[in-house]
Amino acid sequence: MKSRAAVAFKAGEPLQIIEIDVAPPQPGEVLIRITHTGVCHTDAFTLSGDDPEGIFPVVLGHEGAGIVVECGAGVTSVKPGDHVIPLYTAECGQCLFCKSGKTNLCTAVRATQGKGVMPDGTTRFSYDGKPLYHYMGCSTFSEYTVVAEVSLAKVSPEANHEQVCLLGCGVTTGLGAVKNTAKVQPGDTVAVFGLGGIGLAVIQGAKLAKAGRIIAIDTNPSKFDLARTFGATDCVNPKDHEQPIQQVIVEMTGWGVDHSFECIGNVNVMRAALECAHRGWGQSVIIGVAGSGQEISTRPFQLVTGRRWLGTAFGGVKGRSELPGMVEDAMAGKIQLAPFVTHTMGLADINRAFELMHAGKSIRSVINF
- Interstrand relation of 144-148 and 29-38 (parallel, antiparallel or unpaired): antiparallel
95 tagged catalytic: yes
**Closest distance to ligand NAD from the beta carbon of 157 (Å):** 26
**Closest distance to Zn ion from the beta carbon of 198 (Å):** 8
Q: Which position among 220, 247, 336, 351 is part of the footprint of ligand NAD (CB under 6 A)?
A: 220
Phi-psi region of 83 (alpha: psi -120 to 50; beta: other; left: phi over 0): beta
The item of ligand NAD, ligand AHE, Zn ion, none sharing an interface with residue 70, based on CB under 5 to 8 Å by kind, is none
Out of 36, 46, 63, 276, which one is annotated catalytic? 63
The phi, psi pair for 98, rounded to 5°, reads -60, -40
Site for ligand AHE in 281-320 (CB under 6 A): 289, 313-314
Q: Which position among 108, 169, 203, 274 is part of the footprint of Zn ion (CB under 5 A)?
A: 169
63 tagged catalytic: yes
40 tagged catalytic: yes
Amino acid residing at 144: Y
Closest to 205 measured CA to CA, from 322, 315, 88, 321: 315
Contact between 52 and ligand AHE by CB under 6 A: the answer reads yes
42 tagged catalytic: yes
CB 312 within 8 A of CB 141: no
Q: Where are the alpha helices (DSSP H) in 119-166?
A: 161-164
Amino acid residing at 222: S
Contact between 42 and Zn ion by CB under 5 A: the answer reads yes
Q: How many residues bind ligand AHE (CB under 6 A)?
A: 12
The phi, psi pair for 309, rounded to 5°, reads -110, 120
Q: Which position among 22, 40, 155, 264 is part of the footprint of Zn ion (CB under 5 A)?
A: 40
Contact between 247 and ligand NAD by CB under 6 A: the answer reads no
Our CA dihedral for 162, 166, 167, 173, rounded to 10 degrees, sits at: -170
Supply the residues annotated as catalytic. 40-42, 62-63, 92, 95, 98, 106, 110, 169, 364
